[in-house]
Amino acid sequence: MKRLAAIALLTLAVATPAAAHTGEDLAGGFAGGFMHPLLGPDHIAAMLAVGLWGAFLGAPAIFILPVVFPLVMAAGGVLGILGVPLPGIEIGIAGSALVLGLMVALAARPHLVVAAALVGAFAIFHGHAHGTELPDGADALAYALGFVIATGLLHLAGIGFGWLTQYPGGRMAVRAAGGAIAIAGLVFLGRLI
């Protein structure tokens, strides 16, 4: 009985409240998620390229691509969370910077469906990478929201720079930026192979 009392008291001493619904990890979860895409140069390059390409293609691609990307990224994230293996994730992410950068550099103007499908295909890889690192617990939604918003803001940064396409010199600057992203993608790929 003494032992039972000792164990119970020890448990009492270390017991913490169930953390399913506390707000304590909220800021940490959001910050962790927000920084996740920003700390990966390959993620940054690809997201900027999505925004640049959207701006280059004009309406409705300028807002369809930033809407399609997070939704398909979520599907990729679900695959990562469920542990469904996806081959060549890092190659897919690096490849997205190369291909999307090239699309901007070459001023490619495919049909909106083709552009959305291409962007969506690469979003699967980005989502899978984020999804496998999604923490369990109370801050999971804050983390997910953090990296989705960071991704969206990178798209907006690309779109912002892409507004330069309205000017003759700006169009060349945007294509040059696309070229730089493609070269960066090539470097990322080179490191992986």
Beta carbon of residue 171, minimum distance to other proteins (angstroms, whole number): 23
Stretch that binds other proteins, among 8-16, 46-54, 160-168, 173-181 (CB under 8 A): 8-16
In whole angstroms, what is the distance from residue 16 CA to residue 82 CA? 29
Give yes or no for residue 17 binding other proteins (CB under 8 A).
yes
Site stretch for other proteins (CB under 8 A), options 18-26, 34-42, 96-104, 174-182: 18-26
Contact status, residue 45 vs residue 184, Cβ threshold 8 Å: yes
Shortest distance, position 127 Cβ to other proteins, whole Å = 8
Using CB under 8 A as the binding rule, whether residue 77 contacts other proteins is answered as yes
Cβ within 8 Å of residue 94, ≥6 positions away? 42, 185, 188, 189, 191, 192
Q: Which of residues 126-185 bind other proteins (CB under 8 A)?
A: 127, 130-131, 134, 136, 140-142, 144-145, 148-149, 152
Integer Cα distance of 123 and 151 in angstroms: 11
Give the angle subtended at the CA of 112 by the CAs of 164 and 177, to the nearest 5°.
30
Summarize as ranges the residues that interact with other proteins (CB under 8 A).
Answer: 1-2, 4-5, 8-9, 11-12, 15-18, 20-24, 26, 63, 66-71, 73-75, 77-78, 81-83, 127, 130-131, 134, 136, 140-142, 144-145, 148-149, 152
